Amino acid sequence: MLNNTGHLLIFLVMVLSLTIIYKSYLELKISSQKISNSIYQLSLFQSTFAISSFLVLIVAFINSDFSLINVYENSHSAKPLFYKIAGAWGNHEGSLLLWINILVIFSYFFLIFNFNHLKKFRLLTLIIQNLLILGFVIFLLKNSNPFSALEPVPSEGLGLNPILQDPALAIHPPLLYLGFVGCSIYFSAAMASMLANYRGKSFALSIKSWVLISWCFQTLGIIVGSIWAYYELGWGGFWFWDPVENASLLPWFAITALMHSVMVLEKRDNLYSWVIILCLLTFILSVTGTFLVRSGILNSVHTFASDPARGIYILIFLSLMILSSLLIFFKFYKKENYSFNFKSKETFILINNWFMTFFLVTVFIGTLYPIFLDVLTDVKISVGPPFYNIVIIPLVIPLLLLMVFGPQFNWINSNKFFSTKLIILILGAVGVNLFIFFIFGSYSFLTNLIFISSIFLIFYSLIELKKVLQKKIKYNLPRIISHLGFGMMVLFIGINHQYSLEDDFNLKVGEEKKFSHYEIFFDDIKLKEEKNYKAVIGNFRVKNIKNDTTQSLNPEIRIYANPETLTYEAAIKTRISSDLYLTMSNISRSDFYNIKFQNKPFMIWIWISALTIVLGGFLQLLNRRNEN
């Protein structure tokens, strides 16, 4: 019954998309500036049916309805309720249905909240957004249907991949999709803007909040995914330049550039064509990431649903998007004359865009170059951290300095450039850098510059924050908080990268290992049985010889029956100053266990810094709501 209900609801969403496109086209011919109530009602029904279809899928997972292939392949009756619910979007078919839901919901919200903008612009946005919805609904019905029935009905399911059974990963996809799919609405709006000749400040205001919403959720989704990978995959770090990690980062660079460029369009009525390009590019990169993840091209722990047929459909859809957007852009392109004064805010925003574009191109090449090389020469290579560190890290220094100097300048022209206060802050940053050198020891010249630049940004942001809180000046509080978070993140990442301790070794129960100023004792192992897995738990004591403290760490090897899988759970002792990180894995036909031990300085502060960046974005959203 649920499969029929789900099919009907999805079919109704498709019919309503066609109807909305047709009705909106007819409405374009009517001179009145008011959009008819029937279009609002159709869009509301479309959202209702889309959400209902997703709720039906969740109910099927909760009830372990194995008459649906999707539930059978991704759930099990013994799975905890939380992971049954998360299983609804923890697979290709369910995530695609969630993707369609977000497309539909953003379409409806854009229609009702942008009521003060030009009618033709809103209707064209609605038409283009529904063409996107149609494309993905057809994709779902053609070969990715979450409501496909299974006969005969099995008594038990295969279960969800155990490494996906985690709270962080359960919320990671919805957050990331709100960012990815949220880009669609200003992709559609950008196309509509060119077709309706709706430009300048009005267009900037129409998309500004939507850019912020997608940026906030995508950033938060990336952070949650990074935290999950840290403690679940046993890598022991915050970012590994995995190809699928990179696929999520590409649109983030574009959104970040767009978020700043929209301000120039709003304040100076300039950079319109560049804003349009970024609007189009952001969603195109989001769909490109979807293609890479779901086509089987990339090899990663993050990939799923590696089906070439699905990849071909997405590639065709992506190609049509790119072709149509380019045709419209060049048809309606109007040359703009940029005459920015060097000492102006818009110049610094433009420079920020150059940095974001360079980072985007670097990551894009590093991600796709191995794929093309494999196709053309059958040579397999991987592009890892060394490439990105060499190319990207040196440019982080001028970016940090730009984040200090740029906000001080006014629009159009400014007399400010340098002040005694900034010299004092730089000297203070150098002093803190010397203190870090005294505490941790020597490091490279480049690392010195990164530490000084990031501390400089932190000091500047803290002084500005104090002034705002004391109401001495009226500054952009969200921007100050986000920039403060970015400076902190770069500093803590630098310290973490430079001073992490790591060692791999093999131990038997009862043995010990000395490493740097640590002694690691492997005391014993014990067995534990949970509802849906069995665990082998190691009992380790980690003694810090320097300060004579001992910590107990208990890594696990988990054995899941549905599906049959081994996972290695890290034991992490988080402190303010550092994380102790330990994993163990069994060595086949041996009494030895492979142990990976790490001491990661200021690990928790990397997450706090990243969340501070997002906090600034959400505060900016609240500011815009109050302004409206």
Asked if 155 contacts 66 with a C-beta cutoff of 8 angstroms, the reply is yes
Boundaries of domain holding 560: 502-604
Average pLDDT, the chain: 88
398 closest CA partner among 352, 444, 343, 458: 352
Determine the pLDDT at residue 475.
Answer: 66
**Looking at 74-78, 116-120, 193-197, 561-565, which range is the least confident one?**
561-565
For residue 15, being part of any structural domain is answered with yes
Domain-terminating residue out of 116, 140, 160: 160
List pLDDT tens digits, range 366-385. Answer: 988 887 787 678 777 778 88
- Is residue 563 predicted with pLDDT exceeding 80? no
Q: Residues 178-200: what's their mean pLDDT?
A: 94
Q: Is residue 261 part of a domain?
A: no
**Contact indicator for 50, 17 with CB cutoff of 8 Å:** no
pLDDT at 415 (0 to 100): 67
Identify whether 347 is part of a domain.
no
Q: Could you tell me what percent of the chain has a pLDDT over 90?
A: 57
Tell me the sheet residues that pair with 519.
Answer: 514, 543
Spatial distance between the Cα atoms of 419 and 421, rounded to a whole number of angstroms? 5
How far is the C-alpha of 511 from the C-alpha of 539, rounded, in Å? 12
CA angle centred on 401, ends 399 and 405, rounded to 5°: 115
Cα distances from 472 to residues 336, 481, 535, in angstroms, run: 39, 17, 58
Structure tokens at 273: 């064509």
Return the SS3 of 579: strand
CA distances, 382 to each of 96, 135, 374 (Å)? 29, 33, 10
Distant-in-sequence contacts of 312-316, Cβ < 8 A, 24+ apart: 313/139, 313/142, 313/143, 314/139, 314/287, 314/290, 315/291
pLDDT tens for each residue of 336-367: 776 667 778 888 899 999 999 999 999 999 98
Instruction: From 134, 160, 186, give the residue that closes a domain.
Output: 160
Region class of 543: left (phi > 0), else alpha (psi between -120 and 50), else beta: beta
Pairing of strands 501-507, 518-529: unpaired
User: Higher pLDDT residue, 287 or 409?
Assistant: 287
419 versus 551: the higher-pLDDT residue is 551
Q: Which residue has the tokens 């129960």?
A: 509
pLDDT in tens, 254-268: 999 999 999 999 988
Beta bridge partners of 582: 571, 597
Q: Is 0.85 surpassed by the pTM of this model?
A: yes
Q: Is residue 76 included in any domain, yes or no?
A: yes
Which pLDDT score is estimated for 544? Answer: 92
Beta carbons of 90 and 101 less than 8 angstroms apart: no
**555, two tokens:** 């890594």
Q: Give me the number of domains the chain comprises.
A: 2
Residue located via tokens 């194995």: 66
Q: How confident is the model at residue 297 (pLDDT cuts 50, 70, 90)?
A: low
- Residue 406 per-residue DSSP state: G
Give the model's pLDDT for residue 301: 46
Question: What confidence category does residue 474 fall into, taking pLDDT thresholds of 50, 70 and 90?
Answer: low
Q: Decide which of 515 and 183 is more confident.
A: 183
Phi and psi dihedrals of 146, rounded to 5?
A: -75, -10
In degrees and rounded to multiples of 5, residue 97 shows phi and psi of -65, -40
pLDDT computed for residue 234 by the predictor: 63
Task: Tell me the torsion sign for CA atoms 430, 436, 438, 444.
Answer: negative
CA 388 from chain centre, in angstroms, equals 18
Q: Does 531 fall in a domain?
A: yes
Q: What is the pLDDT of residue 120?
A: 95
Give the CA diameter of the chain.
84
Confidence band, pLDDT 50/70/90 cuts, at residue 57: very high
290 lies in some domain: no
Which residue, among 279, 86, 81, 322, has the nearest Cα to 186 in the 3D structure?
279
Residues 189 and 279: their CA atoms lie apart, in Å, by 8
Strands 501-507 and 556-561: unpaired
- How many of the other CB atoms lie within 10 Å of CB of 53? 25
Residue 374: inside a domain, yes or no?
Answer: no
Burial 431-457 (b: 16+ CB within 10 A, else e): ebbeebeeeeeebeeebbbbbbbbbbb
Query: Among 143, 160, 177, which residue terminates a domain?
Result: 160
- pLDDT at position 270: 87
| Tokens 């942008």, residue located | 114
Tell me, yes or no, whether 43 lies in a domain: yes
Cα(366)–Cα(387) distance, integer angstroms: 8
Taking the C-alpha atoms of residue 544 and residue 546, their distance in angstroms, rounded to an integer, is 6
